[in-house]
């Protein structure tokens, strides 16, 4: 079986491959159907969960999540199928369970959208909605340019010209940051966070309650995303607490999307030597550097704060590059326009859906191999980190750093971008 066979080109096929691989690995399977929604061919839509654990309560767990952003699930599902098929769980230290959540946003996966059935960006929905929402004035100023009334003719041309003028004046990073932080005023707009916890939000919290056992010492989370960065490179972006631990486990290329602990101390000579060996001095973020993305409101890592304080959570988003950023944002604009009017009758529908899939999934053997190789590498790094942590806990001493991996599987050149 080749690496390409881990990946599918439709939600139905991806789900079938995941269920087959999970059954073959002996996982305990549960499915949670999205109520009131069907896929393009009338198929039911579900979050599928596979648990690989022994009879005794685990001391540590690895959690792999796919499809947080719907259409990005083509990548994450392939990683999960490969993980199960290649039995990468056998490389984890004794006492470690694996939990795989497939298609956390099944509607977006099936319909090739980044958002869910309510046009909500799931990674902007994990916030306290009883508190005041972020100021949306900056987004309001560009919404009608991003989602013009017409997709053809002078209205679209004027909107594009105004956006390009803004980008030329402020730069692409500022344009990206304005959009990426999330907004809560325009359900038909980009990066909309909703007004209450959505179904996938509630389901993730339920799954954590059901599957994270009491007394679990350590939880390593790998949440697979696509759409930012050089093609095929997976930027490891830490969020939440435990940044120093993440750097010890995964190495100096870890960036962070929010303020946290002080950076872990690294041997400067080793760090500089690694940079030189990879010839990435100009783009690889230094240890402790924050991701270049704007702070995100309502990020999914917030769900893990409800776990027991004794459970040390090390959360990483692995963000795999696909297309140039303006192409990706262009696809998101097109998708928002298409769905701004329910059931819009337009010849643009099929091309826009194809554009969305191509923006977040590169259907080539080289890209799939780069993605899976990088993900498998991080699974092994997570295993070494969990092993070091369990050994230290047993001895009652601080966890030593696991061996730093220098054989890093790279495709393309990394950039300090943040998680979508």
- Arithmetic mean of pLDDT, 167-189: 89
Place of tokens 């990879």: 278
Q: Which residues contact 163 (CB under 8 A, 6 or more apart)?
A: 142, 145, 146, 175
pLDDT at 26: 97
Tens digit of each residue's pLDDT (9 = 90 or more) over 121-156: 999 999 999 999 999 999 999 999 999 999 999 999
Sequence-ordered alpha helix ranges (H) in 241-364: 243-250, 268-278, 325-340, 349-360
Instruction: Tell whether the model's pLDDT for residue 201 goes beyond 90.
Output: yes
SS3 content of the chain, % helix, strand, coil (to 5): 45, 15, 40
Which of 93-97, 258-262, 396-400 has the highest average model confidence (pLDDT)? 93-97
Instruction: Tell whether the model's pLDDT for residue 199 goes beyond 70.
Output: yes
By the 8 A CB rule, do 221 and 305 touch? no
How many other β-carbons are positioned within 10 Å of the β-carbon of residue 244? 18
Instruction: Tell whether the model's pLDDT for residue 270 goes beyond 80.
Output: no
pLDDT at 289: 58
Rounded CA-CA distance 153/165 in Å is: 19
By the 8 A CB rule, do 321 and 231 touch? yes
Instruction: Tell whether the model's pLDDT for residue 272 goes beyond 70.
Output: no
- The CA-atom distances, in angstroms, between 377 and each of 16, 33, 128, 213 are 25, 32, 35, 26
pLDDT at 173: 82
Angle formed by the axes of helices 73-85 and 11-24, to 10°? 20
Which two tokens mark 405? 């991996």
**Residue bearing the bigger pLDDT, 162 or 413:** 162
Instruction: Tell whether the model's pLDDT for residue 7 goes beyond 70.
Output: yes
By the 8 A CB rule, do 89 and 52 touch? yes
**Residue bearing the bigger pLDDT, 208 or 269:** 208
Instruction: Tell whether the model's pLDDT for residue 408 goes beyond 50.
Output: no
Mode of pairing for the β-strands spanning 44-52 and 96-102 = antiparallel
CATH of 3-126+193-326+356-395, one of 1.20.200.10, 3.40.1410.10, 3.40.630.10, 3.30.200.20: 3.40.630.10
pLDDT at 382: 97
Instruction: Tell whether the model's pLDDT for residue 362 goes beyond 90.
Output: yes
Instruction: Tell whether the model's pLDDT for residue 278 goes beyond 80.
Output: no
Instruction: Tell whether the model's pLDDT for residue 280 goes beyond 70.
Output: no
Q: Among 10-24, 164-178, 327-341, name the one with the lowest average pLDDT.
A: 164-178
Tens digit of each residue's pLDDT (9 = 90 or more) over 368-395: 999 999 999 999 999 999 999 888 877 7
Rounded CA-CA distance 181/138 in Å is: 11
Which helix (DSSP H) or strand (DSSP E) does residue 108 occupy? helix 106-111
């Amino acid at each position: 079986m080749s690496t390409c066979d881990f990946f599918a080109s439709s939600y139905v096929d991806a789900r079938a491959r995941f269920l087959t691989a999970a059954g073959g690995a002996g996982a305990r399977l549960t499915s949670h159907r999205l109520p009131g929604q069907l896929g393009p061919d009338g198929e039911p839509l579900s979050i599928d969960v596979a648990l690989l654990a022994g009879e005794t309560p685990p001391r540590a767990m690895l959690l792999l999540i796919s499809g947080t952003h719907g259409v990005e699930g083509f990548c994450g599902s392939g990683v999960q199928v490969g993980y199960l098929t290649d039995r990468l769980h056998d490389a984890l230290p004794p006492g470690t369970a694996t939990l795989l959540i497939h298609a956390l946003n099944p509607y977006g996966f099936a319909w090739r959208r980044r958002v869910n059935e309510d046009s909500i960006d799931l990674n902007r929905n994990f916030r306290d909605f009883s508190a005041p929402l972020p100021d949306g004035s900056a987004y309001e100023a560009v919404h009608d340019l991003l989602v013009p009334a017409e997709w053809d003719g002078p209205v679209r041309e004027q909107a594009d010209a105004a956006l390009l003028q803004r980008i030329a004046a402020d730069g692409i990073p500022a344009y990206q940051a304005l959009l990426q932080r999330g907004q809560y005023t325009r359900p038909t707009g980009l990066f909309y966070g909703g007004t209450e916890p959505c179904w996938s939000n509630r389901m993730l919290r339920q799954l954590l309650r059901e599957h994270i056992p009491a007394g679990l010492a350590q939880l390593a989370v790998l949440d697979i995303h696509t759409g930012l960065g050089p093609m095929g490179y997976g930027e490891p972006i830490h969020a939440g607490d435990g940044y120093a631990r993440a750097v010890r486990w995964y190495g100096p290329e870890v960036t962070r999307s929010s303020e946290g602990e002080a950076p872990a101390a690294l041997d400067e000579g080793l760090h500089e030597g690694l940079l030189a060996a990879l010839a990435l001095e100009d783009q690889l973020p230094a240890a402790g550097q924050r991701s270049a993305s704007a702070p995100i409101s309502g990020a999914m890592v917030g769900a893990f704060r409800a776990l027991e304080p004794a459970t040390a959570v090390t959360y990483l988003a692995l963000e795999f590059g696909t297309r140039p950023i303006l192409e990706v944002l262009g696809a998101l604009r097109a998708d928002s326009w298409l769905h701004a009017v329910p059931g819009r009758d337009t010849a643009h529908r099929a091309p826009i859906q194809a554009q969305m899939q191509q923006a977040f999934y590169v259907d080539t053997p080289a890209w799939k191999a780069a993605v899976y190789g990088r993900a498998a590498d991080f699974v092994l790094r997570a295993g070494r980190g969990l092993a070091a942590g369990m050994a230290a806990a047993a001895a009652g001493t601080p966890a030593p750093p696991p061996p730093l991996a220098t054989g890093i599987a790279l495709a393309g050149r990394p950039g300090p971008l943040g998680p979508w």
